[in-house]
Amino acid sequence: MSPDFPAFALSAEHEALRESVRALADDKIAPRAADIDRTGEFPMDVYDALVKADLHAAHIPESYGGAGADALACVIIIEEVARACASSSLIPAVNKLGTVPLLLAASEEMKQRYLPPVARGEAMFSYGLSEREAGSDTASMRCKATPDGDDFVLNGQKSWITNAGESQFYTVLAVTDPDGERGRNISAFVVEKSDPGFDFGEKERKLGIKGSPTRELHFDNCRIPGDRLIGERGEGLKIALRTLDHTRVTIGAQAVGIAQGALDYALGYVKERKQFGKAIAEFQGLQFMLADMAMKLEAARQMVYVAAAKSERGDADLPFFGAAAKCYASDVAMEVTTDAVQLLGGAGYVKDHPVERMMRDAKITQIYEGTNQIQRIVMARQLLKRK
């Protein structure tokens, strides 16, 4: 093979990063995962450990005090944290989701104001797009930001917002021109937790990812200064959807991590558990299940990494690959975690083992940042417009 042949492999730096994140996750996060799931409390100790290791928002560029990790490094971080605890992986994932709108479209002054506190671990950033009546159909949102002198006044609500209440900063999408063209009448803003007129709903009682609070955002005549506008007025939905092209890749990574955690646990179990006088790993029916799980998981991982490289380069086909990676990896995560429960038999169904939690956690990856039906719409749209 020619020495010039480009390596189709992770760099040594990416491999080293994986090792260091896995060591931290095994040491500090995995032992806490069952308790985080049981109590449903935000894991502040995990947050502190991630901040200490500079893994909580590693995507923030060095010019804003961040680690400057590329998109592939970010997915490796999220994957390895999710392998131990899906709730905890939402710390780096949602910090990225909340701040990408600024990285894509905000003024330099705004980036200098909001990104360094996140990089330092002093603030988290959430992302408020969805509403009660506007989930898949984001353009039908009703939350309003009415111009008033130099300010905007927000009224309405946002639903399902991850890490709400814990985050200091929120990217919020709101209608600025109610009579304007659908989709082009929405703008993006930064809202701060301390802004008067801004409040939170009760925590949702969820199937999984219980250590990541999900709450509504409520705005009641919440006045914010005009310099909180991200990008141009009317460009908000475009910015929000471009953000998702990049961050869906991170949900794919979360799915891969959850599935890997379940497969690893099941592999250990089948070698130990004996029935009919031998380890259940010796039954070919189970070996075929394990092989299918690993094969699909590896395909999902490769797709997520390719999509991450496209995100880093800003390739034109990122919308297809971001949707495909999220959709495929999350479907695989649901399948692999369900099979892991099956491989443990009755033991898989109880909380003495982590695979039932992983199965519950996997489900959300098929739903948020656009359901997998919506991902298929995005993919089909991209295919049909190709010349």
Ligand X SMILES: Cc1cc2nc3c(=O)[nH]c(=O)nc-3n(C[C@H](O)[C@H](O)[C@H](O)COP(=O)(O)OP(=O)(O)OC[C@H]3O[C@@H](n4cnc5c(N)ncnc54)[C@H](O)[C@@H]3O)c2cc1C
- For the segment 202-261, give every residue that binds ligand X (CB under 6 A): 206, 214
> Residue 126 is which amino acid?
S
Near ligand X by CB under 6 A: residue from 43, 66, 92, 135? 135
Marked catalytic residue, from 79, 80, 216, 369: 369
Contact criterion met (CB below 8 Å) for 26 and 84? yes
The first and second tokens of residue 135, run together, are: 């989930």
Interface with ligand X includes 373 (CB under 6 A)?
yes
For the CA atoms of 305, 339, 337, 323, the dihedral, rounded to the nearest 10 degrees, stands at 40
Angle (nearest 5°) at CA 7 between 5 and 13: 145
Number of helices (H), then strands (E), in the chain: 11, 10
- The residue count for binding ligand X (CB under 6 A) is 20
Give the dihedral sign, CA 88/253/217/113.
positive
Near ligand X by CB under 6 A: residue from 72, 364, 365, 378? 364
Nearer to ligand X, 371 or 382 (CB): 371
- Measured from the CB of residue 166, what is the shortest distance to ligand X in angstroms? 12
Q: What is the DSSP string of 245-270?
A: HHHHHHHHHHHHHHHHHHHHHHHHHH
Contact criterion met (CB below 8 Å) for 69 and 59? yes
Nearer to ligand X, 128 or 211 (CB): 128
- Measured from the CB of residue 157, what is the shortest distance to ligand X in angstroms? 12
Q: Give the binding range for ligand X (CB under 6 A) out of 26-34, 74-82, 158-166, 287-295.
A: 158-166
Nearer to ligand X, 160 or 269 (CB): 160
Of 104, 33, 70, 34, whose CA–CA distance to 305 is shortest?
Answer: 70
- Ranked by CB distance to ligand X, the top (closest) residue is 135
Interface with ligand X includes 322 (CB under 6 A)?
no
User: What character string, x for contact with ligand X (CB under 6 A) and - otherwise, covers 108-127?
Assistant: ------------------xx
- 211 CB-side CA count, 13 A: 26
Is residue 298 annotated as a catalytic residue, yes or no?
no
Nearer to ligand X, 152 or 160 (CB): 160
Q: Which residues bind ligand X (CB under 6 A)?
A: 126-130, 135-136, 160-162, 206, 214, 364, 367-371, 373-374
Q: Which residues are catalytic?
A: 369
